[in-house]
């Protein structure tokens, strides 16, 4: 198995987390978040009791920062775990194959 670069994995997962939360912030800013939240709650058989507040720019920036850090950390840790679990697995590189002779 190929090793995964923890830096690249962290940046990728962090970017995905930030993108998802940017979409959420866009929904909050446009007033669409409440209906999505209500639907998600009902989808999980929960009464929709939560209410979406007004968009606070300082909290939005904090949300994106926390998302980036937690996504990066998760991606890097998962890549390290993958590499550790697959360190003894045979690699396709350097494998000698025999050609059939006729």
Domain residue spans of the chain: 6-85
Question: Would you state the pLDDT for residue 67?
Answer: 98
Residues of the chain with pLDDT under 50: none
Q: How far is CA 75 from CA 3, 14, 23, 35, in A?
A: 13, 7, 20, 31
Question: Would you state the pLDDT for residue 91?
Answer: 60
Question: Would you state the pLDDT for residue 3?
Answer: 94
> Which pTM was predicted?
0.78
Question: Would you state the pLDDT for residue 87?
Answer: 85
């Amino acid at each position: 198995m190929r090793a995964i670069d923890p830096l690249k994995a962290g940046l990728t997962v962090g970017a995905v987390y930030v993108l998802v939360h940017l979409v959420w912030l866009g929904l909050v800013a446009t007033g669409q978040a409440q209906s999505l939240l209500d639907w998600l709650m009902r989808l999980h058989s929960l009464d929709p009791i939560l209410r979406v507040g007004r968009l606070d720019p300082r909290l939005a920036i904090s949300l994106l920062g926390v998302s980036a850090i937690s996504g990066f950390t998760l991606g890097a840790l998962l890549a390290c775990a993958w590499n550790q679990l697959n360190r003894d697995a045979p690699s396709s590189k350097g494998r000698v194959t025999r050609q059939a002779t006729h």
